[in-house]
Structure 1
Amino acid sequence: MKKLLLLSIAFVFLLASCGSKTKGELVGVKGKKWYPEKPYGMELIPRGSFIMGKAEEDMAQVLNAPTKTVTVRSFYMDDTEITNSEYRQFVEWVKDSITRTKLAILADELGLGPDDGGIGRYAFKDADTTRASVYDKYMLDNYAGMGTTGYEERALNKKIDLIWDVAKYPDEYYAEIMIDSIYLPLEESYNGLSSIDVKKLKYKYSWMDIEAAARAKSGKRKDFIRQEELSIYPDTTVWIKDFEYSYNEPMHNDYFWHDAYSDYPVVGVTWQQAKAFCNWRTKYKNDDQKSKGKQFVNQFRLPTEAEWEYAARGGIEGGTYPWGGPYVIGDTGCFMANFKPNRGDYAADQALYTVEAKSYEPNDYNLYNMAGNVSEWTNSSYDANSYEYVSTMNPNAGSNQNARKVIRGGSWKDVAYFLQVSTRDYEYQDSARSYIGFRTVQDYMGEEDATTR
């Protein structure tokens, strides 16, 4: 009787499962329905073609931008340059991650746990790493640049707030970490102020060199994974180094960290630091996606040179500037951007240095300051002849061997020529300047509706 009952249950289960099978038809693998989500602070740039290059007279006679019709796919772009406030979020995340790691390691060495109070509250969440997924192990090893610690697969306890007030340190071990490992030594401090040692704020990440892998005749996947580790704090001394015999100490002292400049574009950031920010922004978003059981988003990145120019034009065919042009003064008699007008009358455009990221009127794609304010890093390498050989579809002259990277848009210290949407310029990837910032893009996935075509 028991055997008959088991057979009956198996038969019912078989019938139920048959109803969910494909019945031999090609129905595809069923996945989750994908609904494109507009990233925060970004605008959708619809796919299209445009004439890239110098359609107007090349006054500077650089001869490096012959016209070429190209097509780019749809993508999202930040509506402003990345601001000091946004970049500080990256810096704060790295600082917190490093601090928590150092506290957790010392707590582990002392054998202290949450029940012991003090530094023990910052102990690793779980000593058993066997239950960590491959993703968890990878991401836990990817949070900050401290070199190999031996604790890469241990989860940090981020539910306990860090204490930065020296008068409220919970015990001497906590004070030891903060004083010896996070802050500058006393001999390097002045006016009684304790400052974070920004040289220790390093970010570590890895990426796959798809271009090299695609062109290689052989090799394993690991051969094309690149490791990066770099300091991510902006170089605030650029305000001094970029301009000799000029008093710019207030900008050096206050520009990046003071709330008065929170909505101004970040500067003093190298091309490599901008790339690291893109990696962190992707990780930061996907960590949240994972916690909510949602699909991962694709990566944030720097725009290609073609994407930048296409977005800057705002859909205006043959425009000299993002607003069309050919003049830099609008109908109201006011300058349309932040640059160096009238042979050095910097204040004529209502600005001396940079201005807030949402200043002046946006272009027809609702992007602010695609001309002036700060020049912007792109993902493309600079080659004077690149327009001759790049593809007409999603063109990009990317090269890991070429350290010269294209910057676009002109800045607060440039003359109007550099504000033109077709003007090309470059800077070396390890250089930081007081007039170069960046904005990020993200590829659009999915089908566009009629309103975005």
Structure 2
Amino acid sequence: MKKFILLTAVITILASCGSKDRGELVGVKGKKWHPEKPYGMELIPGGAYIMGKADDDLAGINDAPAKTVTVRAFYMDATEITNSEYRQFVHWVRDSIVRMRLAVLADEVGLTQEDEGTIGEFAFKDADTSNMTVYEKYMFENYTGLGPTGYEGRKINKDIDLIFDTSEYIDEYYAEVMDTMYLPLEESYNGQRTWDVKKFKFQYNYMDIKEAAKNRGIARKDVIKKEEVEIYPDTTVWIRDFAYSYNEPMHNDYFWHDAYGDYPVVGVTWKQAKAFCEWRTINKNTYQKSKKGAALVNRFRLPSEAEWEYAARGGLQAATYPWGGPYTKSDRGCFMANFKPVRGDYAADQALYTVEAKSYEPNDYNLYNMAGNVSEWVNASYDPNSYEYTSTINPNVNDEDNTRKVIRGGSWKDVAYFLQVSSRDYEYADSARSYIGFRTVQDYMGTKVTSNGSN
């Protein structure tokens, strides 16, 4: 026992002598961190503001009584998510599904990446374990394939470009896989086969932090939720939203044609908007992992209702609109947003439907179209009384049992009342509309940035 105590004392002395902290409590030093503004986003400094109606609620809804609240700093997209940006998500999901199907078929027929000129070029990258690190090999041997298909966790090959020109398909197996991704021939017309967009499904997992916090004894695996979402926008909204109206050109071209690439995406549900946020996080962190020593980014998400209104106000207290107000025209007689200014006249503001996401003048936080163009999903459920019981710090109410989700900002087909920064509206979470889009936010890491901290 004495020898053990002596040995422990020697080790302790040696550890102290070899340490650079001189025995002081200096903390664990991590890598130096510098905040990086996400691409296409603006930093919204945290602070307090008066949330809700500053004037009389002329519509008599009375769902937004004024109260002072505080929100933390965050980044927000300068514009609504555009068709082009959402198409990047759709293409990523589509291509991932195609690559997985190619890899599975290559595995079934026994082809590998060494079989050039065949579907084997798209075989799983982990089919050859010789180039794996010790950790990768351990994970592959112990965890890969633990799922319903037996292919969960396998690494698909993204190094080779997919082939979409039918005249360049590399073999019959490739043609077989691609055929499964299109609608059947009997559902095609004019010699064109179109993608079966029902197969464009995005799967992701998330942890229900609120449930975990409320049920402290609950197992971790019980609060990890899995979602699978069909992510292609519903283009038929242009027809369904307006009875006895000719909007077929918008249905046919609005989402996929490059002419509308910089216009806000519409026809997406609340769940699809949340799926986009998860994908954006995964996509960015995949890149971060490829850069040695790069830190992972925190998740992108939909804004809370309080964050959205705070950002829309642009630092102006008690303003009616993002530009102040109380009028919807500038001093030169120009409309300040895209909305329906006159009964039956959608074009009085120089726009019939939506406009490019970077149109009109931005507010003082450099955010475009926080009023008009398209209404925007936020991460909140609609309760007309929620302002009465929400917290005054980062307030938000998102009851998963309440499928009515808040939309903000008004749209191209709305009257001026819905453009007011304090006006609230809602739509059901599984509904898609031709006048609802969204933008994303990301938490600012740290607390230094506040709009009124120096005061």
For residue 222 of structure 1, report the CA deviation from its aligned partner.
0.8
For residue 448 of structure 1, report the CA deviation from its aligned partner.
3.4
Kindly report which structure 2 residues correspond to 1:35-434, keeping only aligned pairs within 5 A, or say none. Answer: 35-117=34-116, 118-127=118-127, 128=129, 131-132=135-136, 148-179=148-179, 181-293=180-292, 294-434=294-434
DSSP-derived class of the 2:318 partner:
coil
Deviates more, 1:308-317 or 1:216-225: 216-225
Separation in 2, partners of 1:450, 1:420: 24
**Backbone CA RMSD of aligned residues:** 2.3
For residue 343 of structure 1, report the CA deviation from its aligned partner.
1.4
1:448–1:182 CA distance, 2 compared to 1 (3 A): same
Q: 1:140·1:155 contact (CA, 8 Å) conserved in 2?
A: no
Separation in 2, partners of 1:153, 1:75: 33
For residue 15 of structure 1, report the CA deviation from its aligned partner.
7.0
Q: 2:73·2:447 contact (CA, 8 Å) conserved in 1?
A: no
Q: Output one character per residue of 1:15-57: Cα deviation in whole Å (capped at 9) or x when no partner.
A: 7983434343211111111111000000000011111001111
Letter paired with 1:319: A
For residue 244 of structure 1, report the CA deviation from its aligned partner.
0.4
DSSP-derived class of the 1:247 partner:
coil
1:449–1:340 CA distance, 2 compared to 1 (3 A): closer
Q: Output one character per residue of 1:200-258: Cα deviation in whole Å (capped at 9) or x when no partner.
A: 00000011111111111421111111110010000000000100000000000000000
For residue 113 of structure 1, report the CA deviation from its aligned partner.
1.1
Separation in 1, partners of 2:256, 2:410: 24
DSSP-derived class of the 2:229 partner:
strand
For residue 316 of structure 1, report the CA deviation from its aligned partner.
0.7
Q: Output one character per residue of 1:119-178: Cα deviation in whole Å (capped at 9) or x when no partner.
A: 1110111124884389999x999xxxxx94211221111110000000000011100100
For residue 447 of structure 1, report the CA deviation from its aligned partner.
4.7
| Structure 2 spans left out of the alignment, 5+ residues | 1-9
Deviates more, 1:207-216 or 1:258-267: 207-216
Q: 1:265·1:356 contact (CA, 8 Å) conserved in 2?
A: yes
DSSP-derived class of the 2:49 partner:
strand
Q: Output one character per residue of 1:44-90: Cα deviation in whole Å (capped at 9) or x when no partner.
A: 00011111001111110001111000000000000000000000000
Deviates more, 1:149-158 or 1:301-310: 149-158
Separation in 2, partners of 1:77, 1:39: 9
Using the aligned pairs only, state the percent identity.
Answer: 71
Normalising by structure 2, we get a TM-score of: 0.92
1:30–1:97 CA distance, 2 compared to 1 (3 A): same
Q: Output one character per residue of 1:176-214: Cα deviation in whole Å (capped at 9) or x when no partner.
A: 1001x2111101111101111100000000111111111
Q: 1:100·1:156 contact (CA, 8 Å) conserved in 2?
A: yes
DSSP-derived class of the 1:349 partner:
coil
Normalising by structure 1, we get a TM-score of: 0.92
Letter paired with 1:32: K
Q: 2:113·2:122 contact (CA, 8 Å) conserved in 1?
A: yes
1:90–1:72 CA distance, 2 compared to 1 (3 A): same
| Structure 1 spans left out of the alignment, 5+ residues | 1-10, 142-146
Q: 1:269·1:436 contact (CA, 8 Å) conserved in 2?
A: yes
Which position in structure 1 is the counterpart of 2:448?
448
Q: 2:405·2:427 contact (CA, 8 Å) conserved in 1?
A: yes
1:187–1:334 CA distance, 2 compared to 1 (3 A): same
Separation in 2, partners of 1:110, 1:120: 9
DSSP-derived class of the 1:426 partner:
strand
